[in-house]
């Protein structure tokens, strides 16, 4: 079982920015597709962004143009830069593998967008 730890969440005003980080074990970093997921109260967990081993990215329509997923191969870390944040972005954010799919989740990091 791979343990992933998310960090960087917090409280931000609408229009603000946050950067989330997720350290990934080096043994899998180069061979998996990583993603950021989020789950808002009363809603299903959704995949908001993913990145493969060569940097190809995909985004949910709701975050396109505002969020950027990236990876630092030296630090074995995946980031999610979130700009122009909206109240609708409020959720617990998780990082995890996308391929292969995982059913084990960490604690996530809370992102709250509110004035």
The per-residue pLDDT for 1 is 59
- CA–CA–CA angle 91, 114, 34 (5° rounding): 30
Assess contact for 12 and 115: CB atoms under 8 A.
no
- CA–CA–CA angle 75, 78, 80 (5° rounding): 135
pLDDT in tens, the chain (115 residues): 567 899 999 999 999 999 999 999 888 888 899 999 999 999 999 999 999 999 999 999 999 999 999 999 999 999 999 999 999 999 999 999 999 998 899 999 999 999 9
Strand partners, 33: 99
**Helix residue spans in 1-94 (DSSP H):** 26-29
Q: Which two tokens stand for residue 48?
A: 């908001």
Three-state SS for 26?
A: helix
């Amino acid at each position: 079982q791979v343990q992933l730890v998310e960090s960087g969440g917090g409280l931000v005003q609408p229009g603000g920015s946050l950067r989330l980080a997720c350290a990934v074990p080096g043994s899998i970093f180069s061979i998996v597709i990583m993603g950021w997921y989020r789950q808002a109260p009363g809603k299903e967990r959704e995949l908001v962004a993913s990145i493969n081993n060569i940097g190809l990215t995909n985004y949910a329509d709701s975050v396109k143009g505002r969020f950027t997923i990236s990876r630092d191969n030296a630090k074995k870390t995946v980031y999610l830069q979130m700009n122009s944040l909206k109240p609708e972005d409020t959720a617990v954010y998780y990082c995890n593998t996308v391929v292969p799919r995982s059913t084990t989740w960490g604690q996530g990091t809370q992102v709250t967008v509110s004035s």
